[in-house]
Amino acid sequence: MARGPLRSARAFPGRRPRSLGTLVLATLLTLSVVLLLLLALGVLSLPVPSGTGKPSAAVERRLEDASLATKAGPSESDDGLGQRGEQWTEVLSWEPRAFLYHNFLSKEECEYLIDLAKPHMAKSTVVDSTTGKSKDSRVRTSSGMFLRRGRDKVIQAIEKRIADFTFIPA
């Protein structure tokens, strides 16, 4: 008489049957490792508050320390116009990243840029999605203009300052 394959633990002499607890523990451990791996790779992300709430005291202290650490005295001469006064960087948000650079431009530099741009201001346009060209839009109410890079000494000094603050080469 032919017998089918044996499925008891006696068929594999060196192997013991596993208990249910061991299987559950192994499954939980495997799932934990997979979850940590997905978090590390950025496939999954933990919920982050939107920033509408007040940050904790420790976060406020670190932001204040970072702001104080970036304070500088009155600006040194860099061929710009006027005196800029005490400069410091204020951290507005880490995500999205936003900083406020106090006294980045002097009053004279601001007036110079305004006087330079005023005669060339044009209504802002939008890009036409079908042609890819600029077109007027009733939604846009702003006006603007573009300056040529390195136009004069004042513009060059401002461009250098922007490069120094942003760590992006001019």
Give phi and psi for 88, each to the nearest 5: -155, 160
pLDDT of residue 55: 53
Task: Identify the three-state secondary structure at position 127.
Answer: strand
Statement: the pTM of the whole predicted model exceeds 0.75: no
pLDDT of residue 49: 52
pLDDT tens sequence across 43-97: 656 565 555 455 556 556 655 655 554 555 555 556 678 888 888 899 999 999 8
Q: Decide if 62 is inside a domain.
A: no
Q: Which domain holds residue 135?
A: 88-166
Q: Decide if 143 is inside a domain.
A: yes
Rounded to 10°, the helix 107-117/153-166 angle is 120
pLDDT tens sequence across 91-141: 999 999 899 999 999 999 999 999 999 999 999 999 999 999 999 988 888
Q: Decide if 61 is inside a domain.
A: no
Length of the chain in residues, anyone? Answer: 170
Q: Decide if 43 is inside a domain.
A: no
16: which residues sit within 8 A by CB, 6+ positions away?
9
pLDDT of residue 143: 93
How many domains is the chain built from? 1
